[in-house]
Structure 1
């Protein structure tokens, strides 16, 4: 597993994360496509200081969620440069965390954990049931065997470490391809990183308020040490420390946004420094390209530098909208829905991408699609059909599981929370 890459891939030969999802299943052999993924979105949604939602930040989160789904489906490495979703989402969550820590820290941490865990529990129960039904035995797994394999199962319910999953499960001719468990469980790395940041935030905010610049820049320095191989920390501990370092700068940038530090810096100076840092990130990436080329998830130092600079620019120009302006207003309900169901979308979207394959494969059995030209046309547009189908499936997951987020937040369950007024507004904590 590459450090900072949300989804481990079985081998370098598996190619670009998610890319092979775009290939149609072979009609003659019945084998499912292979692939891997990457991810990011944030479990919570910041609100404006002084009351009311900051719709600019809500819009950024929604864009990040869409980018995550598109990346996982098409596997385009350049998307990690175009919009570094993970860095953006950690920054937004850090801003909200700093706002919440105006209240007693222990209660804030409890509230964050409480809101995160129930949706994860539902997801963990479903995925583990699918794995066990497919014949996986964690006691006999060569990578997670013995008593430690059972202990690691707890990470499906309190993600302080990496959850165990089989690299291959089922048969090539099965309903889902053999690495479906990797695709389903791999994204839980993000919840682990989020949990670490939440627990560490009181100390980080204390340090930031006393020494803002050293605290803000320290994660970049740590990434230069642990993310480049200068110091190697083996196993999942190394992955967790690297993730913490890579995205720590973005999380603390959220602190800087909330505390007003970024607004006190002249815009020309902030943008110039951010551009230089981003240029360094691209320069470093050019000499350390991984098997997927310019996929920054495989290059921790480039990911940290590019994401940091990108977030600085986004937050420097942050307009703090109370309402989405102009033509953006037409997306208001979808932006609201995605923010209210960010955890649900994040947890389930990868599994739903895989679910599109057996559904679309039924099209090959239709009588009017038996000609070579029809099959060729379907093959050439297969990924586009997957893209079109995954959104209704995500909508179905919101209806089936999204209400758990409301229960976790101690509010009345809502099936489709896309309104922003009255009872549909999220209660602040």
Structure 2
């Protein structure tokens, strides 16, 4: 799990370790989430009281979450975890998680930009950073305890300056390499896995900062704006554009790979995709995807060299697939009957998407390290080697650990969103009733204090 410079290993999830992630929610025609999340959509906000002076306000229906986008985000998270565990090259072809995550985030960003851009960007950054800070507190502390410090790379001054990227990730935060693990619990070089998903946080931040300009360009020149990232990806791929250093080329590679998906999400929110004839997207999108697949298959596509290692192929395949998914967009304000049983699971994944994305790589490493200890038991390796070699028990154990991370670290997302912290926000009626009772008690207490005062 040692990703390249632009951290493609996170793409498979690319949210495969990538997760987010990545991310953020969107809305389809007629149904929009009322929250302003980073990688996920939160529960709809209550309808404000109607103003008697504005009778039309009372007739306005309350916005609803788009459950189709919730489903896409949940699938992206699951696929990211599975990909980062197994490394199966075909998984990014089945479902391009990172492209989906960026498209959903772009969709939500375009909707939010109906408000002042500075206000929207400030809110996005506020929601993004606290979960990252919590990861940094745990991870950087562990690295320092194991000997990582200013002299690690021979440039003490730069080490301290680069640590600021753990606070505001305008570039990739530094991390230690080659650290020893904890025997039987945490594998060696664990900091690389911990830092793996951070490329997505950095890319997301830059997309947010650039969104006001991208939206203006999209409204003025839709086709040019949509295709510009793909053209930039081709320029990098064929050597027409080269840049010195690592940080700037890495950031531009991410933009060229998934920028078209972000802009697609914005175009969907703006209604641009709905204004073109219905047959255009089903006719054009498969061509982009097919070109990306053709390029990958002709450049040794396979395990260890999948779409994450081929930015241009990833860009084309993700663009074509995401375009089709947005074109289908059924805009569910309620779950179809067959999906209702999954409501709580999908709601939980959406409510804790940032936490899952940031911590899943570490959970995979812990689960795999602990599972490998069973090889030391004679009965297991002699009679159950097939079970020890199977990824499915490790996957199940990984999700148990992810669940513990939701409990221990998920509250940071609530604080970032200025919500009351919840331990397990799966949208269950039991939790909602408890929250309502607690809110009623708090209001009663405030009224009593005011009366005493």
Per-residue deviation at 1:172?
Answer: 9.5
Match of 1:33 in 2: none
Per-residue deviation at 1:37?
Answer: 5.2
State how many pairs are aligned: 396
Is 1:277 paired with 2:321? no
Per-residue deviation at 1:392?
Answer: 1.0
- Bigger Cα displacement from structure 2, 299-308 vs 261-270: 261-270
Q: How does 1:66-145 map to 2 (within 5 A)?
A: 66-141=78-153, 145=155
Match of 1:390 in 2: 398
Is 1:226 paired with 2:236? yes
RMSD of aligned Cα (Å): 2.5
Per-residue deviation at 1:124?
Answer: 0.7
Spell out, residue by residue over 1:244-268, the C-alpha distance to the aligned partner (whole angstroms, 9 max, x if none): 1111100010111101111122232
Match of 2:341 in 1: 330
Match of 1:29 in 2: none
Alpha-carbon spacing, 1:217–1:420, altered in 2? closer, same or farther (3 Å): farther
SS of alignment partner, residue 168 of structure 1: coil
Alpha-carbon spacing, 1:76–1:291, altered in 2? closer, same or farther (3 Å): closer
| TM-score, normalising length: structure 1 | 0.86
Q: How does 1:405-420 map to 2 (within 5 A)?
A: 405-419=413-427
Per-residue deviation at 1:169?
Answer: 1.0
Alpha-carbon spacing, 1:230–1:178, altered in 2? closer, same or farther (3 Å): farther
CA distance in 1 between counterparts of 2:278 and 2:67 reads: 22
| TM-score, normalising length: structure 2 | 0.82
CA contact (8 A) 2:12 2:91 kept: no
Gaps of 5+ in 1: 9-15, 19-35
Match of 1:313 in 2: 324
Is 1:376 paired with 2:385? yes
SS of alignment partner, residue 206 of structure 1: helix
Q: How does 1:29-428 map to 2 (within 5 A)?
A: 38=18, 40-47=20-27, 48-49=31-32, 51-141=63-153, 145-170=155-180, 175-233=185-243, 234-289=245-300, 292=303, 295-364=306-375, 370=379, 372-374=381-383, 376-381=385-390, 383-419=391-427
Per-residue deviation at 1:177?
Answer: 2.8
Per-residue deviation at 1:336?
Answer: 0.7
Spell out, residue by residue over 1:21-58, the C-alpha distance to the aligned partner (whole angstroms, 9 max, x if none): xxxxxxxxxxxxxxx95554124333533711000001
CA contact (8 A) 2:20 2:354 kept: no
SS of alignment partner, residue 97 of structure 1: helix
Alpha-carbon spacing, 1:183–1:290, altered in 2? closer, same or farther (3 Å): farther
CA contact (8 A) 2:12 2:92 kept: no
SS of alignment partner, residue 96 of structure 1: helix
CA distance in 2 between counterparts of 1:418 and 1:379 reads: 32
Match of 1:11 in 2: none
CA distance in 2 between counterparts of 1:172 and 1:115 reads: 32
CA contact (8 A) 2:375 2:388 kept: no
SS of alignment partner, residue 240 of structure 2: coil
Per-residue deviation at 1:181?
Answer: 1.0
Per-residue deviation at 1:378?
Answer: 4.2
CA distance in 1 between counterparts of 2:12 and 2:261 reads: 24
CA contact (8 A) 2:110 2:269 kept: yes
CA contact (8 A) 1:43 1:116 kept: no
Alpha-carbon spacing, 1:264–1:372, altered in 2? closer, same or farther (3 Å): closer
Match of 1:13 in 2: none
CA contact (8 A) 2:5 2:246 kept: no
CA distance in 1 between counterparts of 2:303 and 2:374 reads: 31
CA distance in 2 between counterparts of 1:65 and 1:346 reads: 7
Gaps of 5+ in 2: 33-61, 437-453
Computing the radius of gyration over CA atoms, which structure comes out larger, 1 or 2? 2
Alpha-carbon spacing, 1:365–1:306, altered in 2? closer, same or farther (3 Å): closer
